[in-house]
Homo-oligomer: A and B are copies of this chain.
Amino acid sequence: MIDIHPVVHAISKLCVAMGVLMLAPAAIDWANGDPNWRAFAMAGGATIVLGLLVAVATPGDGRPLVVEQAFLLTTGLWVVLPLLGAMPFMLGAPAAGWTDAMFESMSGMTTTGTTAFPRLDHLPLGTHLWRGILQWSGGLGIVVVAMVFLPVMRVGGMQFFRSEGFDTMGKVMPRAGQIAAEMTQLYLGITLACAATYTALGMGGFDAVMHALTTCSTGGFGRYDASFAAFPGSIELAASFFTILASIPFVRMLQLVHGDPAPLWRDSQIRAYLGIIAAACLVILVYEALWRSVLPSADLAREVIFHVVTITSGTGFASTDVTQWGYLPFVLLFFIGLIGGCTGSTVCSIKVFRYQVLFEALRGQLTQMQSPHRVRPLRLQGRRLDPEVVNSVMAFFTMFVLSFGALIVALALTGLHPRTALTAAWTAIANIGPIWGPEVTANGSVADFPPSAKWLMIAGMYLGRLELITVFVVLMPRFWRQ
């Protein structure tokens, strides 16, 4: 039987941290004279007290977690924190029901960015700040999980990174705390730089902070119903830049900060990722010019770059209606959303690294079908690719595709239009953000979806954010029998 005490202890300490974070929106609403501050004060107080009580009741023994406990901690965190994070949306503006509040909170913590609220423009600043904080802390959480836990849990081929990347930083587990601290500093630095840039380019101070929080987490919550169409075009380029930063492996940026730019420069995953972005932009611009006689302009190029980056990285901001570009750009954006950014960043989806493993594995399969008796080891980034990593990545890909299909069918069962079901499943399982379909409100929210569809999307976002396998392992009866 797994000893769940240390897991509960760790989660409760993070609850206290979350409660403390709720005091920030409380403060800003209080300073503005908005009575909405009470919702955050109440929720924050309750969360802190609850967390402290449970933390005291489950004293930790200081021993490092075993793998089973890492699974429980990861899956438990993304249930408990979204539940508590939903409270302010019910107690204060927009006084949401529990389905919508939970949807918004899960969409935040999983950095999905789809909103459940049909009108954003007039919500209190505190509510918006809380939405930003949810995404920012969710993004930080996932980077730490991806770097510290997933490789040890051997989820979806992440064991490839068990030693790699940390070579310059020593062994992982004993130094998990230090890695988390360094990550936090880096992440904070990028976010501050992003907010400063936004301000310099004309965004208001609050908007700059709020959108920096949702940009650097590739989260995509916006403050306005118009999303990024509310801002001057140059901000799109800044957003594109910081989104790309947030979707490459954080360890590479840490190495750069530590004075070693070579790993960043040589990383084939980063090169492939930038190549995909460049190719997609080029195809769309050529398509517009040749098929639709829209001559390339700086404005169009900027908008294309912005939307390609925001979809590939799974951020999900929008500044224009991309379906107006014709059929192909829409189809292309749909598929690059299923590629995603790099591993070890805040992005979700399948990720470039896994496609690299898949292509290398398929090449190996075809080669071996011709020369069955000559086994050639597979390689990636100059290293040997363990068969276990390949199997793990293939299993991940298969689970992703099958879960995606099942989610589309399940969403169609709730009565959604096929286009809505398809894009809602896509946005949920790959944590992207936008949805297209007749049931989507003008600001892109799921407010008019049936509750069953919202809960299915909540489950999909949760599954997708935790790389599916993490959840499936814990759901197996076997896991609890050991």
Contacts and interface: CB of A to CB of B under 8 A. Distances in A.
A482 interface: yes
A327 B370 contact: no
B366 A472 contact: yes
Interface stretch (A185-193, A223-231, A388-396): A388-396
A331 interface: yes
B409 A332 contact: yes
Contacts of A397: 398, 401
A405 B402 CA distance: 14
B409 A398 contact: no
B338 A476 contact: no
B415 A361 contact: no
A156 B150 CA distance: 30
A408 B335 CA distance: 9
A328 interface: yes
Nearest to A328: B412
Interface string A357-372: 0100110011101111
Categorize the interface residue count of chain A. 35 or more
A425 to B, nearest CB: 10
Select the residue from A68, A395, A402, A472 with max chain B CB neighbours within 10 A: A395
A56 interface: no
Contact of A418 (B68, B331, B370, B473): B331
B421 A358 contact: no
Nearest to A411: B331
Question: Interface residues of A: mostly helix, strand, loop or mixed?
Answer: helix
A328 B409 CA distance: 7
B338 A369 contact: no
A398 B355 CA distance: 10
A417 B323 CA distance: 11
Nearest to A397: B398
A384 interface: no
A447 interface: no
A332 B405 CA distance: 10
Contacts of A402: 358
Given A367-B476, A398-B358, A473-B370, A409 B482 contact: no
A478 interface: yes
A413 B358 CA distance: 25
A154 interface: yes
Contacts of A362: 395, 398-399
Interface in A57-75: 68
B412 A332 contact: yes
Nearest to A412: B331
A466 to B, nearest CB: 14
Nearest to A408: B331
A287 interface: yes
Contacts of A394: 391, 394-395, 398
Contacts of A369: 153-155, 469, 473
Q: Which 6 A-B pairs have the closest CB atoms?
A: A331-B412, A394-B394, A365-B395, A328-B412, A331-B418, A401-B401
5 contacts: A287-B413, A328-B409, A330-B418, A370-B473, A398-B398
